[in-house]
Amino acid sequence: MGQNTYPFQLVPLPYAYNALEPYIDEKTMHLHHDAHLQTYVNNLNAVLKDHPMLHSWTLEQLLAYSDMLPEEIHTAVINNGGGVYNHNFYFANMQPHAQQTALSGNLLHAINSEFGSYDNFKAKFKQQALAVFGSGYTALVLNHNGSLEIMNTANQNTLLNEGVCLIMLIDVWEHAYYLKNYNVRANYIDNWFNVVNLSLAEKNFEKCIIMEVQNANW
Ligand code: MN3
């Protein structure tokens, strides 16, 4: 993932800009990654520049322990650091449709038992993503009870200080879909399900389970 402390760098896409066509268009990917994400990276570095004691903090630490940040940069770190973290997760959790494999293993089992079926999960996830008012994200997480849960987060807030573990994340800011889908977020969500990286979601789920067990043993 590149360097994870100040100065933060733009993480390259793990696939070509046109690799998600026709579901997510190349022009959107260029703007989204090269303009929007780059701006969050630049702004985060500018905010941290005069705070050398924070230069050894990872992005996760800055966001999970944001209450410990100096007041004058608190909001800017949440907005810009969150913008970097959320986008890095979002871009990494997509892949070309041709490489998509069917969901299997423990995550499929957990989805079936929580939501009834993968199709029911998709319908519920879509409904919740449509309910994000304004800008934000929708995520599948493992919560502190060890259950799967769909959660929304506003603006560039992350779920890092919510005590939940991220499995899957969709960006529903208009900049993620407006060029291709105009205002129709529902079409974008349907398209996104064709390029979400399900094998990565399975790996994330396994990591979340291990973290959950470790936390329970504290
Ligand atoms: Mn975005």
**What would the two tokens of residue 131 be?**
């309910």
Residue 92, number of CB atoms within 10 A of its CB: 17
166 with 198, same domain?
yes
On whether residue 118 sits in a domain, the answer given is yes
* Domain CATH code at residue 71: 1.10.287.990
**Ligand 1 centroid to 175 CA: how many Å?**
6
Instruction: Give the gyration radius of the chain's Cα atoms.
Output: 17
**Do 117 and 202 belong to one domain?**
yes
Q: What would the pLDDT profile of 30-73 be if each residue is shown by its tens digit?
A: 999 999 999 999 999 999 999 999 999 999 999 999 999 999 99
Task: Give the total number of structural domains in the chain.
Answer: 2
Distance 172 CA to ligand 1 centre (A): 7
Instruction: Report if pTM > 0.85.
Output: yes
- Distance in Å, CA 79 to ligand 1 centroid: 12
d(CA 101, CA 83): 28
Region at 187 (left for phi over 0; alpha for psi -120 to 50; beta for the rest): alpha
Which secondary structure element, helix H or strand E, spans residue 167, and what is its range?
strand 165-171
Do 150 and 195 fall into the same domain?
A: yes
Instruction: For residue 59, tell me if it sits in a domain.
Output: yes
- For residue 136, the domain's CATH number is 3.55.40.20
Q: What is the pLDDT of residues 134-187, one digit of tens each?
A: 999 999 999 999 999 999 999 999 999 898 999 999 999 999 999 999 999 999
Q: Are both 123 and 73 inside the same structural domain?
A: no
